[in-house]
Structure 1
Amino acid sequence: MNSSTRARSHVIGMWLMASVALAFASHDAISKTLILSLPVIFVAWARYLVHTLIVTTVSLRNRREKIFHTRRPWLHLLRAVVLLCDSLTFLFGLTHVPLAESTALVFLAPAFVTLLSPLLFGIKADRLQWLSVIVGFVGVLVVINPGSDGFSLWMLFPLATAFFFAIYQLLTQLAGETDSPSVCSFYVGVFSTLILSLVVPFYWATPSATQWLLLVVLGSLGLSAHFLISTSYRYASSSVLAPLGYLQIVFAAGYGVLLFGGYPVMSSVLGMVLICLSGLVVYARRPTAVLSG
């Protein structure tokens, strides 16, 4: 590939990754809008139901029977449980934590990946990576500001989301050793929907037509974002694309101002910058990148 072709490919990948950031931020903004009037469990169930229906329908129309075959169903069940913990802690956190701050705290996930990788893959972090982890946690302390009057224990929820998302990324890496991305996407959707279906009757709601439409859009956005991630890496490497993932924080801040009237204070902005710097160092040292959602 010559330099001009490579540059053109990188530009396509960068636009796709920017679209991913916007899609995830839109997904989270819609989620926050819905949970103001609908139970969190119901919103999560509808989101994964739409995900599963779309993936299954597309797979059947394309006659991709292999999507139903996996040698590690229990691993996918574990991924679904962890992903549900990720989704529910984030949604419950959004009920009390501003969108921009919640999004920024979730981006601590790469630091947790650095901490957990030696346990699953025996990958040891170097000094620069450990420094990035420290910077990330300093950024978290600045965002949540535990000594201030505005501190709330609800801020621990997006931190838990970051932890669960890191575990989910590592489990997905393990699953990817034997199963294709389509198989992984199918089973995590099916298991998540089935698990939530067991409890959603206790949190049942009757959405309006507009809310049903938003729920369908919510599930479609989540699935589309993950598809765009996979597509973007066909055009550029993680070192090129990872910085654009942090546009999600910018988009989330914009949604927070426009839809919820939430303006981040300067200390939160500083903490967000530190978390971004921490994550970028981790991304630069790893072959793949992660995004929240």
Structure 2
Amino acid sequence: MQNNTRLGILLMVATSFVFAVQDGISRHLAGEYNVIMIVMIRYWFFAAFVISIATRQSGSIRAAARTSQPLLQIGRGALLAVEICVMVTAFVALGLVESHAIFACYPLLVAALSGPILGERVGWQRWAAIGIGFVGVLVILQPGRTVFAPAAIIPLASALMFALYGLLTRFAARKDSAATSFFWTGTTGAVVMTIIGIWFWEPMSRADWLWMLALCVTGALGHWFLIKCYEVAEASAVQPFAYLQMVFASAIGIFVLGETLEPKVAIGAAIIVAAGLFTLWRAARARPA
């Protein structure tokens, strides 16, 4: 593995931008069509991409699929598919700006749950950062006031599911390679979404099929950038730049979709990101050289 931090950062910035564009397209399509159908079609393309990449890395489909923990792999793949449906629903209910501001707390959820799920030690400094981060969430949600929207629970639920998915992925990595986990992520999600989504099929206009193609391409391109990013640089060096997805998505929401950035959302998101960056910094320092 080469170690080119500058290239890794550029690739992570590109990844964040492409995924933000994907979120904007998802918001557009889900506003016109059923969310489950949109995610199902997206997974068909993603599964083909995953099988191609995993097979190339492992040598064959059988080698890529080989695992001693199939239930764990199926569970995490299904969880991610459901999480994507929930997050796209949040885009429609709340918009990109507020959804991403709340979703940004997922690294803090990972840190909080890494103790009970993975048996990792969570020190007082990390707990303090987690607490501060959730103050940011409360600033955004403002529970008890008339501005609080029950729909704000949707991206929070998505963040919790994505955090659990990340922890289960780390747990699976103790026995399986990244290629194997990637294979099960795409194929399980495609199977689950097809079983559910085929019942929600509805006709789509020719113009929106072009948007659907763009959604599939951006999804594959984003994952390709991410794979290349982790090939050339350490995760701890590039992970903080993943927060740029929230910035890019918010910009798309404001300048393309006509959303507004409320002060409470900006302040809350800044608190969440600062706490998240601190936990990443602490994790990088604690990791042996």
TM normalised by structure 2 equals 0.90
Distance 1:221 1:180 in 2: 25
Q: Which runs of 5+ in 1 are unaligned?
A: 289-293
* Aligned counterparts, 1:64-83, within 5 A: 64-65=60-61, 66-83=63-80
**What SS does structure 2 have at the residue aligned with 1:286?**
helix
- After TM superposition, give the deviation of residue 251 of structure 1 in Å: 0.5
**1:94-151 Cα distance to aligned partner (Å, 9 max, x none):** 1111202111211211111112111122112112111111111111111122244332
Q: Which amino acid aligns with 2:179?
A: S
Q: How many residue pairs were aligned?
A: 282
CA contact (8 A) 2:54 2:183 kept: no
| Residue 283 (1) aligns with residue 280 (2) | yes
Distance 2:55 2:236 in 1: 35
Distance 2:7 2:163 in 1: 27
Distance 1:247 1:212 in 2: 28
Distance 1:200 1:167 in 2: 23
Distance 2:127 2:56 in 1: 47
- After TM superposition, give the deviation of residue 194 of structure 1 in Å: 1.2
CA contact (8 A) 1:253 1:263 kept: no
| Residue 221 (1) aligns with residue 218 (2) | yes
**1:14-66 Cα distance to aligned partner (Å, 9 max, x none):** 11110111011111111101101010000111111110122234556785331
C-alpha RMSD of matched pairs (Å): 2.1
**What SS does structure 2 have at the residue aligned with 1:263?**
coil
**What SS does structure 2 have at the residue aligned with 1:95?**
helix
Q: Which amino acid aligns with 1:81?
A: A
* Aligned counterparts, 1:55-94, within 5 A: 55-57=50-52, 63-65=59-61, 66-94=63-91
* Aligned counterparts, 1:26-65, within 5 A: 26-57=21-52, 63-65=59-61
**1:144-192 Cα distance to aligned partner (Å, 9 max, x none):** 2224433211110100111011110011112222222222122121111
CA contact (8 A) 2:26 2:88 kept: yes
Choose which of 94, 108, 112 in structure 2 pairs with 1:111.
Answer: 108
Moved over 6 A (4+): none
| Residue 155 (1) aligns with residue 152 (2) | yes
Distance 2:226 2:111 in 1: 21
Choose which of 133, 136, 150 in structure 2 pairs with 1:136.
Answer: 133
Distance 2:52 2:157 in 1: 33
**1:195-246 Cα distance to aligned partner (Å, 9 max, x none):** 1212223211112223223223323323332332232233333443233111
Distance 1:217 1:71 in 2: 36
- CA 1:149 to 1:122, structure 2 compared with 1: closer, same or farther past 3 Å? same
User: Which is further off, 196-205 or 162-171?
Assistant: 196-205
Q: Which runs of 5+ in 2 are unaligned?
A: none
| Residue 16 (1) aligns with residue 11 (2) | yes
CA contact (8 A) 1:41 1:203 kept: yes
